Amino acid sequence: MAENKRKFWSVVSPLPANVIAGQAQMMEAAGLEGLFAPQVYGPPFIPLAAAAGATTKMRLASGIAIAFTRSPVETAFAAMDMDRISSGRFTLGLGTSVKSWSEDVFGGTYGKPLEHMREVVEIVRLVNAQAHTGELKRYDGKYYQLDFGELQNSGPPLRDRIPIWIAALRGPLVSLAAEIGDGVIGHYIWSIDWLLNKVPDYLKRGLDRADKQRSDIEFNAWLAVAINNDRAEAINDARPTVAFYAGIEQYEPFFAAHGFGDVAKQLQEGVKRKDYLSVAHLVPDEMAQTFVVCGTADEVRKRIEPAWDVVDSMTLAPPAYGLETPKVLEYAAAIGQTFYG
């Protein structure tokens, strides 16, 4: 498939509305397939609404909405609102995030994330399909006990089944996403090796459980990319992003599977004292290049090319952590010029 026919997505953050609008229009004009907005702090629907008003064709997705920080009923209604605002271009991307954020920061319940995510997706789909029909009565699950007896007719949604994509870091959640979701979002910190050699088996397990075909889901892989003719500079700029994720204790098994478990333990000390930048120098060159694709435009193209045998679309994003905004924008511009400029 020719590169200009391939489906690329990009990312927008909470910025002034006119800035979001300008970015979204540029991305749509460049032929991008879609635009994600992540949730790190506030909900992702707000910047997406600004992007929706400035575009007409590009798909829009939460990438991701943290699944356990709000009621799944609110998530369902927010998704229906976004679908209406965007004239049917919205995809609900959900993720589990990590326990410390969901419980300690947001005050939610994490529980067992796989079974919890099953309930969230089931409730979102029920509300999406039935909130306007009067069919909803009760939902009794392990995590949610809901009584819809006084729910007023919300009016019909634009679509009674909005696509749900589920983001995943490790294998079991990849399988769950393939099983119950309409799409899978690969984690921003995945290595190329993990994407090529581990993920396909996990996808197949989930598809087999649901008796689905590979064509029944869309697989969008996020990759961190630092395009720079100065390789040493790119590697150094990648270290803080790797330190941020590798310092999350819950992610340690993922980094250990790549042979970096000992480094991850060291990096956790920085994250626990809210200063991951103080330990970024501990990220060795090999580790930085494993999780962020570093190099010249031609080198980066060559490294990610095999991924097209596995994925349907890609989201290429710069290593944003620990860098000043102008540097992040330089890397973003290099991605655009290399892949869809």
Q: Is the pLDDT of residue 4 over 80?
A: no
Cβ 132 vs Cβ 153: under 8 Å: yes
Helix ranges, 86-230 (H):
99, 113-130, 171-180, 192-197, 199-209
pLDDT band for position 113 (50/70/90)?
A: very high
pLDDT band for position 1 (50/70/90)?
A: very low
DSSP class per residue in 100-120:
IIIIIIT----SSHHHHHHHH
- Over residues 323-328, mean pLDDT: 93
- Over residues 294-309, mean pLDDT: 97
- Over residues 285-308, mean pLDDT: 98
Task: Give the SS3 label for residue 292.
Answer: coil
Check residue 154 and give its pLDDT. 83
Check residue 5 and give its pLDDT. 77
The pair of structure tokens assigned to 193 is 């090796």
Check residue 246 and give its pLDDT. 96
Percent of the chain with pLDDT over 90: 95
CA-based torsion, 267, 273, 274, 278: positive or negative: negative
- Over residues 291-297, mean pLDDT: 98
Cα–Cα distance list, 269 to 63, 237, 262, 279, 284 (Å): 28, 20, 12, 8, 16
- Over residues 134-160, mean pLDDT: 94
Check residue 2 and give its pLDDT. 40
Percent of the chain with pLDDT over 70: 99
Q: Is the pLDDT of residue 57 over 50?
A: yes
Check residue 58 and give its pLDDT. 97
Query: Measured between alpha carbons, how far is 236 from 280 in angstroms, rounded to an integer?
Result: 9
Check residue 164 and give its pLDDT. 98
The half-sphere exposure of 99 on its side-chain side, counting CA atoms within 13 A, is 9
Query: Measured between alpha carbons, how far is 108 from 71 in angstroms, rounded to an integer?
Result: 9
**Strand 145-147 relative to strand 164-168: parallel, antiparallel, unpaired?**
unpaired
CA-based torsion, 166, 169, 173, 174: positive or negative: positive
- Over residues 241-257, mean pLDDT: 96
Q: Which domains does the chain have, with CATH numbers?
A: 3-225+305-325 (3.20.20.30)
The 3-state DSSP composition of the chain as helix, strand, coil percent (nearest 5) reads: 50, 15, 35
Query: Measured between alpha carbons, how far is 84 from 86 in angstroms, rounded to an integer?
Result: 5
Report the chain's mean pLDDT, rounded to a whole number: 95
Closest Cα partner for 299 from 226, 241, 238, 247?
A: 226
Residue 59 pairs in a beta bridge with 34
The per-residue b/e assignment along 134-159, b for 16 or more CB within 10 angstroms, e otherwise, is eebeebeeebbebebeebeeeeebbe
Query: Measured between alpha carbons, how far is 316 from 286 in angstroms, rounded to an integer?
Result: 20
- Over residues 155-159, mean pLDDT: 95
Q: Is the pLDDT of residue 88 over 80?
A: yes
Q: Is the pLDDT of residue 10 over 70?
A: yes
pLDDT band for position 271 (50/70/90)?
A: confident
First-residue to last-residue Cα distance in the chain: 18
Query: Measured between alpha carbons, how far is 117 from 111 in angstroms, rounded to an integer?
Result: 10
